[in-house]
Amino acid sequence: MEQYIIKGGNPLVGEVEIGGAKNAALAIIAASIMTDETVTIDNLPYVRDINVLLNAIEGIGGKVDRINRHKVNITGAGIGNFCIDYDYIKKIRASYYIIGAMLGKYKKARVPLPGGCNIGTRPIDQHIKGFKALGADVEIEHGMIVATSERLVGSHIYMDVVSVGATINIMMAASMAEGNTVIENAAKEPHVVDTANFLNSMGANIKGAGTDVIKIKGVSKLHKTDYSIIPDQIEAGTFMFAAAATKGDVTVKNVIPKHLEATTAKLLEMGCEVEEFDDSVRVVASKKLKHTQVKTLPYPGFPTDMQPQVAVVLGLAEGTSIVTESIFENRFKYVDELTRMGADIKVEGNTAIINGVSKYTGAGVSAPDLRAGAALVIAGLAAEEITTVDDIVYIQRGYEDFEKKLQSLGALIECVNSEKEMQKFKLSLMVS
């Protein structure tokens, strides 16, 4: 089993290039099967979740040609099997996008209930409500979501909760429904906008993505396109918080600064300097970190996918900070691990009360999920002595070359596969 071994204490300094957004790419890959023509997608992150979804698409008869690590051609013409295999899908959340894509194009889909990070109960009632409003029959049978419809007809759909997945899924199906659909109380995340832009580039007619009312005129056919995914705001934010935690000076490149505003605001409140350029952001953390309050909210609020990372930084800030998680009920699983590194955090319901400590001390910890895992790596980078992070398979779901990018910023981190490799790394640290 691979694990990270980290010798903390080095400020991160330098420049790091951010890849394409995992959560946009997953939706866009699924949407690419809505045409028989070949779709080219560029700026894909080379991460586990993307590879799992591409394999699943091959599994149902789609053709996937990797041009390089970040670029792929997908041809949906051969799809003849409308049932996705459970083995693929249990590993990822975004498998649910195949339902919207297949229902739109083929008017039928049979997909196992999705997996993904265990950060809460994660119901999909709003997806189902939307599909039903478009005229589909949706049943859960033996762990499968079975959606069928003679014809899909546009509808007026009010979302009871702001859901990224349900907004995108309904938008995909409605793109190929007859007539007009309005989605009210829609999610406004950058990946919702990116997926709408992608579908429009295939001939869909979607307006209003990025606001809370999305209007879709259904079309009967979609066509080929050549599309580049937006940069990953969560990967970018993770490096920004890593800079803050290690008292570093890091420029994150290939980003859309507007997408990072919530992160930037919190870093400024903590006393970091943040400089914005056209497509990069520089974070300098030279002063003592100050406490602040964070509440996760749908975009443009502070992203839940960045909550563990900000909490790790606040754990090192002067005074008492409050972090409130309002999206998922089980996203503080990293707190016990961080406590082992010396953090002083008390969780009460959906709130973490963080009393800043002057330092973390290295320890053996396990990544409980993707972002919590990344946050524990940040803690290890800031900590005294050696930290090992187990279960990094979670981190590999969403971060490409995480350790290499950190090494390029001066971090002492290695991905090791055995006790022997770990001892070798420890020895190299003693020699250097």
Ligand X SMILES: C=C(OP(=O)(O)O)C(=O)O
Q: Consult the annotation and say whether 282 binds a ligand.
A: no
164 binds, among ligand UD1, ligand X, none (CB under 5 to 8 A by kind): ligand UD1
Closer to ligand UD1 by Cβ: residue 232 or 414: 232
Dump the DSSP string for 166-210.
HHHHHHHHHHTSBSEEEEES----HHHHHHHHHHHHTT-EEE-BT
Name the DSSP letter for residue 384.
B
The count of chain residues that interact with ligand UD1, using the rule CB under 6 A, is 21
**What amino acid occupies position 403?**
E
- Is cis: bond before 298, omega within 30 of 0? no
Site string for ligand X, 375-404 (x = CB under 6 A): -----------------------x------
* 24, 230 contact by CB (below 8 A): yes
Closer to ligand UD1 by Cβ: residue 11 or 190: 190
**What amino acid occupies position 204?**
A
Q: Which of 131, 175, 179 minimizes the C-alpha distance to 157?
A: 131
- Is residue 268 within the footprint of ligand UD1 (CB under 6 A)? no
Burial call 332-367: b when 16+ CB within 10 Å, e when fewer:
bbbbebbebbbbebeeeebebebbbeeebebbebbb
**Contacts to ligand UD1 from residues 47-106, by CB under 6 A:** 93-94
* 29, 52 contact by CB (below 8 A): no
Per CB under 6 A, the list member of 93, 105, 188, 259 interacting with ligand X is 93
Residue 58 C-alpha from the chain's centroid: 23
Euclidean distance between CA atoms 20 and 53, whole angstroms:
15
- Is residue 47 within the footprint of ligand X (CB under 6 A)? no
CA angle 304, 307, 310 (to 5 degrees): 145
- Is residue 117 within the footprint of ligand X (CB under 6 A)? yes
117 counts as catalytic: yes
Q: Consult the annotation and say whether 126 binds a ligand.
A: yes
Closer to ligand UD1 by Cβ: residue 308 or 380: 308
Stretch that binds ligand X, among 77-85, 113-121, 217-225, 256-264 (CB under 6 A): 113-121
398 binds, among ligand X, ligand UD1, none (CB under 5 to 8 A by kind): ligand X
Q: Consult the annotation and say whether 300 binds a ligand.
A: no
Exactly one of 83, 117, 272, 415 is catalytic; name it. Answer: 117
Q: Consult the annotation and say whether 45 binds a ligand.
A: no
Number of residue whose CB is nearest ligand UD1: 165
| C-alpha gyration radius of the chain | 22
Burial call 168-200: b when 16+ CB within 10 Å, e when fewer:
bbbbbbbbbbeeebbbebbbbbbbbbbbbbbbb
Q: Consult the annotation and say whether 407 binds a ligand.
A: no
Site string for ligand UD1, 118-137 (x = CB under 6 A): --x-xxxxxx----------
Q: Consult the annotation and say whether 378 binds a ligand.
A: no
Q: Consult the annotation and say whether 23 binds a ligand.
A: yes
- Least CB distance to ligand UD1 at residue 91 (A): 12
The count of chain residues that interact with ligand X, using the rule CB under 6 A, is 11
Per CB under 6 A, the list member of 10, 43, 155, 163 interacting with ligand UD1 is 163
Distances 114 to 59, 74, 132, 248, 430 between C-alpha atoms, Å? 16, 22, 19, 38, 45
**Contacts to ligand X from residues 193-232, by CB under 6 A:** none
Per CB under 6 A, the list member of 235, 305, 337, 403 interacting with ligand X is 305
* 40, 250 contact by CB (below 8 A): no
CA torsion angle 257 278 395 124 (round to 10): 40
Site string for ligand X, 359-378 (x = CB under 6 A): -----------xx-------
Three-class SS state of 216: strand
- Least CB distance to ligand UD1 at residue 93 (A): 4
Query: Token match 């943040």: residue?
Result: 274
- Is residue 327 within the footprint of ligand UD1 (CB under 6 A)? yes
- Is residue 387 within the footprint of ligand UD1 (CB under 6 A)? no
- Least CB distance to ligand X at residue 83 (A): 21
Per CB under 6 A, the list member of 6, 94, 109, 173 interacting with ligand X is 94
- Is residue 161 within the footprint of ligand UD1 (CB under 6 A)? yes
Name the DSSP letter for residue 33.
G
Annotated binding-site ranges for phosphoenolpyruvate: 22-23
Annotated binding-site ranges: 22-23, 93, 122-126, 305, 327
Catalytic residues: 117
Residue numbers at the binding site for ligand UD1 (CB under 6 A): 23, 26, 93-94, 120, 122-127, 161, 163-166, 187, 304-305, 327-328
Residue numbers at the binding site for ligand X (CB under 6 A): 23, 92-94, 116-117, 119, 305, 370-371, 398
